[in-house]
Structure 1
């Protein structure tokens, strides 16, 4: 995402705890900052993209945090899939004149590289209109409503993704265990009501046997916990979401929290004694 903004012609200042990542964007034309707070102090538009809400709090909050370093009139866009309680608290603590937009993204590494992410933006109309031209270089921008609604929409899309991802392995296992070749099953699914973006994007990672390490089981479970927090407002049982959380938790207990997300399907392979390897030109998503 940083590199796309550089290529779009913006003067970009960047910071990352990962020195190698920072070196790569600096080589691409960004200016390396010494800290997140240093980055914020230089910015008219400040973007954060972090794995978890506690990382956002560590970067932004406190007297030495990046939030206090933002200039009056600047805009903070948080691309993290975040907890709204934290977003609202930080918004209340922001310096006078600083505006905030929550805009979590979906589309994986390939979407970031190719500018084909979908970004779910929450914030007042004026702040959204200021953010949209910048975010437009990263992909399709959808204004979801007031501050916090971007996170809600992103988590709903992940809710549906995790349910579908947990089901893929079950469907493949059912077909294989009952005598259907995986290639035949794959062709039939793509040309039936079983087809979906999740099937087409994720199944090749199962076929290739790498299970897509660009997103970990730990991050899946983090988002599922945030989804369950939102689900408390529904006041009805949501058994499919609960079942998906259980499936990912079982995979994490078996393979470790940092294992690739689609180990949720590998667990079924291993328990059932089945192989979901399927020969094909399966280019990893992070290389597309």
Structure 2
């Protein structure tokens, strides 16, 4: 199977490397030609556009910023829809709108394409290692055909029909962002009440308060970089999509709205390129304390892949 990859950012670039490592003949495209240089050095070939890419491959993987960028990949001037889509798989890893994507892919299906949505969870270190949990939606036959490519990047977690992967990703990020916001308040409260941040972190893990955010993201607060590998602009994009989904389903959203407001405040204070966990920095600054702790805190983007460790 020949595989194409569109979108070589922080997460996508690392996922594409794992496809190359898995032995697939790989073609790559990104709006920034220089982003493909490491992949070409690993043996990938460059394609000049999504159309040129789909004409060369059996399966396309995309990971771009959001819904408009997915639309450009498919229907732009040199989008995939203008190429040979018949029998081709499109695996999209983007955090996107389920309703929008279900409508968008109708033309792809009409041309014989097979869409699979597989948004990812975890962080850049999971993308580097190739063990990202992936919420996979689509027809069973399409998912099974796509499985070898997906498993080169991570773990298949089937969620049903096409579009359900986007739903699972949005509600996943909903809980993730709420917990990230709450952790700042809890940590600062504990410190002001007499518990050092490292002691607090040690005793919270494994109990009712535990989560991926607790285990994985708190060290970015201790280190003081607040994880810029996932910037606030992505958090705000995701929270807007979450709000859209909640409004469409008629679900109450007070907690999510408060979380969204906190992320907006962080973006206004630190800029939207600041790290996601700056929602906790807000609480530190306003309380006049610091949660930084000396230690050997390995940044997520510094985790090596076994093949290059």
Deviation, structure 1 residue 62: 4.0
1:208 aligns to 2:202 (yes or no): no
TM-score (norm. length: structure 1): 0.96
**Number of the residue aligned with 1:88:** 102
**Number of the residue aligned with 1:14:** 28
TM-score (norm. length: structure 2): 0.90
Asked if the contact 2:49/2:79 (under 8 Å) is kept, the reply is: no
Runs of 4 or more above 3 Å deviation: none
Which runs of no fewer than 5 residues in structure 2 stay unpaired? 1-14, 304-309
Deviation, structure 1 residue 234: 3.9
Asked if the contact 1:213/1:261 (under 8 Å) is kept, the reply is: yes
Q: How many residue pairs align between the two structures?
A: 288
**Number of the residue aligned with 1:149:** 164
**Number of the residue aligned with 1:197:** 212
**Number of the residue aligned with 1:42:** 56
Q: 1:70 to 1:268 in 2, by over 3 A?
A: farther
1:24 aligns to 2:38 (yes or no): yes
Asked if the contact 1:43/1:70 (under 8 Å) is kept, the reply is: no
Query: After the TM superposition, which residues 176-255 of structure 1 pair with which residues of structure 2 at under 5 Å, given as runs?
Result: 176-255=191-270
**Number of the residue aligned with 1:163:** 178
Q: 1:258 to 1:111 in 2, by over 3 A?
A: same
Q: For 2:47, which of 12, 21, 33 is the aligned residue?
A: 33
- CA–CA separation in structure 1 for the residues paired with 2:39 and 2:54: 17
Q: For 2:284, which of 252, 261, 269 is the aligned residue?
A: 269
- CA–CA separation in structure 2 for the residues paired with 1:80 and 1:196: 23
- Cα-to-partner distance string for 1:156-211 (whole Å, 9 max, x where unaligned): 11111001101111111101112222222122212432222211110000000000
Which runs of no fewer than 5 residues in structure 1 stay unpaired? none
**Number of the residue aligned with 2:89:** 75
Deviation, structure 1 residue 78: 0.8
Deviation, structure 1 residue 86: 2.6
**Number of the residue aligned with 1:2:** 16
- CA–CA separation in structure 2 for the residues paired with 1:101 and 1:192: 36
- CA–CA separation in structure 2 for the residues paired with 1:246 and 1:3: 36
Query: After the TM superposition, which residues 115-130 of structure 1 pair with which residues of structure 2 at under 5 Å, given as runs?
Result: 115-130=130-145
Q: 1:236 to 1:72 in 2, by over 3 A?
A: closer
- CA–CA separation in structure 2 for the residues paired with 1:44 and 1:191: 44
Superposition RMSD on alpha carbons, in Å? 1.4
**Number of the residue aligned with 2:296:** 281
